[in-house]
């Protein structure tokens, strides 16, 4: 069983320099995106903000263009994907998950809709569902925020823009903003089901704002720590959505059906345990693939993590669940492990111990890497300003 009080292992100096550079690059990219006016939620919460004051807007231009004039959209396909944030974020989401969006397959999905006349497109289930989401947004928002904020610290906002689009592979995701594929067959044209999923996605935004404020130190093994984070993040979001069923029913939600099955919960917990065990015995590339296939596609992170969040919430109380969000995924796993028998606890092996005395050096190495990254960013910005002048 993982011991949260055990000291973390020191990382190798070169690894720490690279980690520092990576950290700085991530910070720089975030700043460039904000400075460039890219729509979507910012990586840090607004100063003095509160959860219930969150600003959640709705943007439907991509979907409206597809409904009103799909022929022009296909004729100017590249322009459409460049102009519409929903499409740009879809490309970014795909890239972050290691693949690209096939334009050929996208055009094939649009083609049957293109063949409808204008009135048939207006009367289509796709457009009717979208209109219910758009027209009901002002009524949805206060109810959604009141629920989501029950599962987040009070000082964490969920500012975000919701983007409606259609005919893309994923049904919903958070990258740059919340993107909803209204045409996804999974929804069965059920606006309430989509709103329930929005609860899940809006909660993710709050979780993203907690990352820079996390109180626990991460593991040296970044990939293993990322897996634990997905377990906490996707699992708790699923639990938050599950608890919203009275306000936003989701009769077709497969995750909730699995969550209510004791045998399926056990199966998904065992699947996560299997992933954690294999983390030290397979290559990073293979582990990434297994994590996606088992944790995401087969929903192990979602169902096992939701069960863990529900157990903590029920046995220790809501504030204890929120405490694990402030601290991080290590705390989440540790809290759950205190509530279940030893044979049900999640166990994993950390990276091997480093030679004694390397901790201080590794800390300096990380700072050197960060400093080099900051210097590179400053030089780049000055050269860019000079070029503009």
- Predicted confidence (pLDDT) per residue in 161-203, tens digit: 999 999 999 999 999 999 999 999 999 999 999 999 999 999 9
pLDDT range class, residue 47, cuts 50, 70, 90: low
Angle between helices 329-337 and 300-316 (to 10 degrees): 60
Q: Average model confidence (pLDDT) for the chain?
A: 84
Q: Are strands 177-181 and 172-175 parallel, antiparallel or unpaired?
A: antiparallel
Specify the pLDDT at position 99.
86
Give CA–CA dist 331/218, Å, rounded: 11
State the pLDDT confidence band at 122, using cuts at 50, 70 and 90: very high
Q: How far apart (Å, rounded) are the C-alpha atoms in residues 312 and 267?
A: 19
Can you spell out the DSSP letters for 51-78?
GGG--EEEE-HHHHHHHH-HHHHHHTHH
Report the pLDDT value the prediction gives residue 281, as an integer from 0 to 100: 85
Task: Please report which confidence band the pLDDT of residue 236 belongs to, taking 50, 70 and 90 as the band edges.
Answer: very high
Give residues with Cβ within 8 angstroms of 274, minimum separation 6. Answer: 294
* Three-state secondary-structure class, residue 292: helix
Please check whether residue 160 is in contact with residue 89, taking contact to mean a CB–CB distance below 8 angstroms. Answer: no
The dihedral through the CA atoms of 82, 85, 89, 92 has a sign that is: positive
Domain edges within the chain: 51-211, 220-344
Lowest-confidence region among 62-71, 138-147, 348-357: 348-357
Give which of 157, 317, 308 is closest to 233, Cα–Cα.
308
Q: What is the separation of C-alpha 379 from the centre of its chain, rounded to a whole number of angstroms?
A: 32
> Nearest to residue 57, comparing CAs of 145, 122, 149?
145
Buried-exposed string 331-357: b where 16+ CB fall within 10 A, e elsewhere = bbbbbbbeeeeeeebbebebeeeeeee
Helices and strands, number each (H, E), in the chain: 18, 4
Give the tokens for residue 28: 């720089």
Of 283 and 363, which is predicted with more confidence?
283
Tokens 């960060």 — which residue? 370
Identify the pLDDT of residue 188. Answer: 96
């Amino acid at each position: 069983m993982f011991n949260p009080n055990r000291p973390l292992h020191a990382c190798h100096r070169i690894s720490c320099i690279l980690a520092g550079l990576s950290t700085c690059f991530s910070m720089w990219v975030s700043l460039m995106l904000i400075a460039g006016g890219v729509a979507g939620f910012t990586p840090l919460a607004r100063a003095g903000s509160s959860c219930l004051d969150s600003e959640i807007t709705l943007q439907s231009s991509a979907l409206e263009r597809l409904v009103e004039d799909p022929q022009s959209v296909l004729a100017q396909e590249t322009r459409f994907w460049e102009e519409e944030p929903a499409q740009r974020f879809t490309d970014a989401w795909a890239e972050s998950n290691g693949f690209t969006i096939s334009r050929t397959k996208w055009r094939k999905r649009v083609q049957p809709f293109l063949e409808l006349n204008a009135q048939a497109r207006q009367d289509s289930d796709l457009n009717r569902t979208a209109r219910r989401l758009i027209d009901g947004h002002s009524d949805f928002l206060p109810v959604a925020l009141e629920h989501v904020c029950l599962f987040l610290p009070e000082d964490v906002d969920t500012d975000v823009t919701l983007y409606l689009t259609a005919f893309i592979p994923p049904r919903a995701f958070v990258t740059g903003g919340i993107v909803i594929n209204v045409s996804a067959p999974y929804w069965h044209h059920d606006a309430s089901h989509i709103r329930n999923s929005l609860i899940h996605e809006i909660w993710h935004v709050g979780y993203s704002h907690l990352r820079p404020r996390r109180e626990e130190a991460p593991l040296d093994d970044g990939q293993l720590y990322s897996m634990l984070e997905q377990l906490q993040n996707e699992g708790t979001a699923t639990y938050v959505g599950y608890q919203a069923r009275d306000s936003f029913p989701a009769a077709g939600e497969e995750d909730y059906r699995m969550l209510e099955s004791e045998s399926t919960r056990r199966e998904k917990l065992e699947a996560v345990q299997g992933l954690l065990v294999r983390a030290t015995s397979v290559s990073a590339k293979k582990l990434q693939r297994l994590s996606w296939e088992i944790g995401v596609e087969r929903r192990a992170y979602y169902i096992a993590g939701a069960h863990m969040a529900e157990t903590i919430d029920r046995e220790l109380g809501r504030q204890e669940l929120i405490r694990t969000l402030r601290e991080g995924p290590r705390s989440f796993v540790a809290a759950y492990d205190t509530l279940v028998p030893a044979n049900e606890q999640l166990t994993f092996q950390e990276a091997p111990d480093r030679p004694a005395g390397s901790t201080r050096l590794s800390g300096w190495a990380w700072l050197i890497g960060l400093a080099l990254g900051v210097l590179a960013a400053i030089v780049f910005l000055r050269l860019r300003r000079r070029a503009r002048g």
